[in-house]
Amino acid sequence: MSFSFLQAQEESRHREGIAPPPPKPAQNYPTLPREEIVMEMISGTLLDKNEQAIANARIWFVHKSTGKVLGETRSDGSGNYAIAVPRVDTVILRVSVDGKAFMEKEYSFDSLLSSTEITFEP
């Protein structure tokens, strides 16, 4: 008959009159509030000042209060874009065409949801 190391330790404790340690009580960790993030789909068409579609432009949606980028997308060949971003009060829209011309403009989130066209004026 062979004993494992753990069995030998347990037998040794009993012989020496040492009781095994009591089980630890269950810890009750505080319940953290769950943060709910509401995502909204923003879509539209990016136009130049002559109302021509701007293809392949990079578009960033930035939270005005924190400066955190909420999302980034590109316009397609017809200037259309669509992206799901978290709902915030105010968004700064940054647009870049070919990495050269930039536009930055502030919008309320609701105005971006209701508008279908954004005019790019570098």
User: Which domain CATH number covers 53?
Assistant: 2.60.40.1120
Residue 77 · residue 5 · CB < 8 Å: no
Q: What digits encode the pLDDT tens for the residues 84-110?
A: 999 999 999 999 998 888 899 999 999
Q: Are 58 and 90 in contact (CB under 8 A)?
A: no
Tell whether 24 is covered by a domain.
no
Collapsing DSSP states into helix, strand and coil, what is residue 7?
helix
Q: Domain for residue 34, yes or no?
A: no
What's the domain count of the chain?
A: 1
CA distance 2 to 88: 67
Q: Which domain holds residue 112?
A: 39-120
Candidates 11, 117, 114; CA nearest to 54 is 117
Q: What predicted TM-score, i.e. pTM, was given to this entire model?
A: 0.68
For residue 27, the model assigns a pLDDT of 75
Say if 17 falls within a structural domain. no
Q: Is 4 inside any structural domain?
A: no
